Amino acid sequence: MKATLLITVFSILLFSCQPEKTTSESTAVGVTQKQGVQSVDAVSFKNLSEKENTIILDVRTPQEVAEGKIPNATVINIYDPEFETKVKQLDKEKSILIYCSAGVRSAKAAEFLTEQGYPSVYQLEGGLGDWYQNGFPLEK
């Protein structure tokens, strides 16, 4: 009886001390979620961009945008001093699909949006380079 009780108590202590998962976890093919931001591959990003109730947000510089952007994207340069003010004006009821050239700036911007209470933020993993490698269109 004491042995069974000891094993039960030990098991409870052992499993209750497991650390919480804080790293990214894959939630679906092409989708990874981290801190409220869902990172998606180019195929998933394109599929999401074709749905209603979405805003595609390009956070690159004007020089980068001049070389081409994802069709229908709203451009708000992350280096613009008014960046935070401008993105706070985006509709929180819509999904925000955000990208940059490689994914670094869009990750920062996506984190900012989730901190501001935007519930549905998707970041293009690999940035515009991944979009382009998949042969998806750009507009000038």
Q: Is beta strand 74-75 parallel, antiparallel or unpaired with respect to 31-34?
A: unpaired
SS3 (DSSP) at 34: strand
Tokens of 109: 């911007």
The residues near 51 (Cβ < 8 Å, ≥ 6 apart) are 95
Structure tokens at 79: 């280096």
**The residue type at 117:** G
Which distant-in-sequence residues (6+ apart) come within 8 Å of 103 by Cβ?
A: 39, 123, 124, 125, 126, 127
Residues that are catalytic: 100
Of 112, 116, 99, nearest to 59 (Cα)? 99
